[in-house]
Structures are given as structure tokens and as C-alpha cells.
Amino acid sequence: MIKRETAPLPSALVPFEIPEIKLIKATGGLEVYYVQKEKLPIIQAIFISSAGSIYDPEGKNGLAFLTSLLIDEGAAEYDALQLNNELEKLGTITGISISHDAFTFSILSLKEHFERSFELISKIILEPRFEENDFNREKKKTLDKILQLKDEPSYIANSAFEKRIFAGTNYSNPEIGFEESVKSIANGEIKDFYRNEFLRSDLKIILTGNITGDEILNLINRYLSAWNFDNQLRRQKLFSPAVLPGLYIVDKKESAQSEIRVGNLIKNRNSEDYHAARLMNTILGGQFSSRINLNLREKRGYTYGAGSALNYNKESGYFEISTAVNIDNSADAVVEILNEMKLIRENITQAEIEFARSYLIKQFPSRFETYTQIARNISPLILHNLPIDYYHHYQSMIENVKEEEILKAAKEYVLPEKSVILITGDKEKIVRQLGSKLDMEPSELDIYGNPV
């Protein structure tokens, strides 16, 4: 028998170079962030525009979302099905998505088909058709999806939570919109949004793959030179969410579980104590071996998983704990969550800090493995105005956070007294449990997060 009692020690470190991110400007001013990587004949491109759903006008929630559904339903000489056929036959994977802060196009293509893929995406960006029959179809589809979401417990919990935490701003409204707001949208408004918001937004391109800077500039000159930078409206959106703390219940009759969300607003992504906060969150709920998961899952068996995250929109971030628990343990789970929030503000051990530091620093190279991962790592640099060499300093920034800064971050980022506590599940069963365990009166919300 060999000796197995202690874990073997690591051998000498294998060196790893963080890929270099380069920035080039095309004539006209279009900025391209790219990483040249030659291992495989693959190119990942992301086109990221600032025309997200925070620009939805009042009463028109869902306008940016619907525009993103329609933008590739026909462009230039192709109708909707022809256009998609051109992309599909290349084996290129395309995706168009909308968030509060961004309107994003992504393409994953073989190098041999990249130019044609780029040309087609450029047509989508510059010459969408927005035809009436496509508009009617996609609008109906959006309304059907909104209907379906009424039965998605995790979606309901997320959107009701955001309604409370971002009260008074467009971050509190779902990207897809509401039944009433989507019903009121006309095709003319889609065209206006495209013209007034999308075409005047800040557009940037991210590329990873087997491609040189000159090749990129040539593609832009050939296919995207009509993008007009002089038109840009670099507007400031003023954001001051009026968070509405408290204990809330969204009733979901006969649910097998409760979806729980607890959290509060935090500082922006580019604030100086981010790395201290990241270490703190890693310990509290940012990975499997965190306090929250070990308590709720491994100790008590209330859930399949529980965790916490620091989430960042461009103008406002929030800290959020989320889990889904057996309905009978709803109140116990909330009590445990609030207790963990209190405890992390009081004490963090040196062993926990060493673990979290080691975890974040050593896993760092594996975040740059695929072409898509590398490209996606660049998006937050753009969204949050972080320096282009940010990742080169990441490991040393984590290394250099002082222990007391981590505890300080806990006190500033985890605010049990100012938290929104939201439970989605069978109200009758939940309320019965709450009385003896939580000294708070719950208010009921509808599935959109509005008071009943």
C-alpha cells in the first residue's frame, strides 16, 4: 500500500502568458479590440453597441428587445429566410442579444467563412429591412414568450427582485418588456429606435482568432465604412435607484420550492475596492465551497445549490444571494442567509482568505482557454471603462489586497438591514413558517414585483 494520508504537493509552475489585447482604430473611428490566436482556424467576433434596453422610452418597455429580434429578419437584398439561409449554410453560429446596457451581435465562424459572415453581419447592422409582416410575427412571438414566463419561478423571482432593488430606473424593468408595453409598440417605433438610438450608439468590435490587425481593418473598410461616428450621441443616463428594502412574497400556488433572492445595491465595477469585494464574495457565496453553499446545501440539505454574486450593470451594481429551497424550509433558509450576511461582516479567517486568493489567482489562466471566453472577457473592459491591460495586473491585484480590506468590503457590500428579501412560492405555506422565525412583516407583490 502506498501512503495516501496527505495530499501530494504541486510540482514546478507551468508558465502562462495572458493573451495580449490590442486596440486598433479604423478610419472613421471604429475601435476594435482583438487577440490574435492561431491554434485553430476559428474566429470569434462580438459587435457591442450601447443601445440597450435602458433606452426604452416610458411605456415602451421591450422596444430594444423587439428591435434586436427584428434586426436580422431581412437586410439589404435578402428577406428574413434568405438572410438566415446565407448564414446557416456557412456553419457560422450567430447570436443577437439585448441587455440593459448593450445590444450585442456575436459570430463564431471558421476562418474560411469569416469574411462572408462579417459581410452579412454588416448588412444586418447597416441595412435592416424591418418589414411589416416580420414585425407582426416577432411581436406576437414576444407576447407569447411573456405569457410563458408567468410560469418560470426563477424568472419571476429575478424580475420582482430587480423591480424592488432598482426602483425608479429602467434597470428595474425586464428587457423583454410587459404585455401592455409590447402591445403598444408599432413598427415605426422600431425604425425610430434603430435610427435614433442604435445608429447613434457607441459601437465597438471584439475579435479573437486567426486574424491580423490589417485583415480586420480591410474588412471594416470594405463592409462597415458606412457606420457614421459623427452621428453619435454620447448621452449620460442619470441613475439613482431608490432601493425599496423589505421582506416580500410573490405567491406561486402549489410550488414545490421557494425561489429566494436577498441583496442590496453596491458600488460600480470600476471602484477601487472591487478586488477586496471579490475575495469577500468568493468566501461568502461565490463558489461551491463557500459559507452559504456549505451551510444551505451540504450541512442542511435545504437546496441543490446556493450562492452569491456581485452583479454589475454599467451604472449600478448589486450584491445578490440566490437559491431555490424545499418549500417547507423557506423561512429557515432566509434566517440562515441573513445570519451568514451578519457573520461575514464580523469575522473572516485567514484560512478562508488564503483559500479565496489561491482560488482566484490560480484559476485565472483557465478563463482564457476558448476563443469565445477570451472575447467575452473583453466586453467588461469596454462596459466598465477598465484599462486594456487590466488582466495583466489582475493576479497581482488579488495578491495585494490586505486582510482588513476584505472585512471592510464585507461591511460595505453586504447590507442585511438595507436588503430586499424576496421569496417566490406558495404564499400560504411560507407565511405560516415566517411568524416565529423572522421579525418582519411580509408584503405581497405580483409576479412583476408591484404591490398587490
Partner 1 sequence: MINNSLLKINYEKFSLPNGLEVILYPDPSSPIVSINIWYRVGSANEKPGKTGFAHLFEHMMFQGSQNVPKEGHFKYIQEAGGTLNGSTSIDRTNYYESVPANYLELLLWLESDRMGFLLPALTQDKLDNQKDVVMNERRQRYENQPYGQAWEILFSNLFTNDHPYSWPTIGWMDDIAKFELNDVRNFFSTYYAPNNASLVLGGNFDINTSVKLIGKYFGEIQRSNSIPSINSPGQKLKETNRIIHKDSVQLPRLYMAWHSDKAFGPDDAALDILADILSSTKNSRLQKNLLYDNQIALDVSSFQYSARLAGSFIIVSTAKPGVEIEKIKAEILKEIDFLISNGISDEELLRAKNSYKSAFIYSLQKLDTIVDHINHYNYFLNEPDSFIFDLNRYEKVTARDVINAAEKILNKPYTELNIIPKQKEQ
Q: Which of residues 239-278 bind partner 1 (CB under 8 A)?
A: 254-257
Residue 70 in contact with partner 1, rule: CB under 8 A: no
Residue 196 in contact with partner 1, rule: CB under 8 A: no
Q: Which of residues 97-136 bind partner 1 (CB under 8 A)?
A: 108-110, 112
Residue 88 in contact with partner 1, rule: CB under 8 A: yes
CB under 8 A: which stretch of 24-32, 80-88, 182-190, 432-440 binds partner 1? Answer: 80-88
Q: Which of residues 339-398 bind partner 1 (CB under 8 A)?
A: 355, 358-359, 361-366, 369-372
| Rounded distance between C-alpha atoms, residue 396 and residue 450, angstroms | 45
- Measured from the Cβ of residue 405, the count of other Cβ atoms closer than 10 Å reads 17
Q: Identify whether the C-beta of residue 248 lies closer than 8 Å to the C-beta of residue 423.
A: yes
| Rounded distance between C-alpha atoms, residue 293 and residue 287, angstroms | 8
Residues 210, 289, 311, 379: which binds partner 1 (CB under 8 A)? 289
**Which three-class secondary structure state does DSSP give residue 9?**
coil
Which C-beta is closer to partner 1: that of 18 or that of 98? 18
Which C-beta is closer to partner 1: that of 11 or that of 347? 11
Query: Over the Cα atoms of the chain, what is R_g?
Result: 24
Beta strands in 194-267 (DSSP E): 203-209, 246-251, 257-266
Q: Judged by CB under 8 A, how many residues of this single chain contact partner 1? A: 76
Q: Identify whether the C-beta of residue 321 lies closer than 8 Å to the C-beta of residue 267.
A: no
- Report which DSSP code applies to 75: B
Residue 288 in contact with partner 1, rule: CB under 8 A: yes
| Rounded distance between C-alpha atoms, residue 49 and residue 71, angstroms | 13
Residues 52, 62, 128, 153: which binds partner 1 (CB under 8 A)? 153
Residues 20, 77, 127, 144: which binds partner 1 (CB under 8 A)? 144
Beta strand 103-110 with 443-445: parallel, antiparallel or unpaired?
unpaired
| Rounded distance between C-alpha atoms, residue 307 and residue 322, angstroms | 6
Which C-beta is closer to partner 1: that of 260 or that of 265? 260
Least distance between partner 1 and beta carbon 365 (Å) = 5
Residues 25, 57, 95, 141: which binds partner 1 (CB under 8 A)? 141
CB under 8 A: which stretch of 239-247, 318-326, 385-393, 411-419 binds partner 1? Answer: 318-326
Is the four-CA dihedral 389, 394, 399, 403 of positive or negative sign? positive
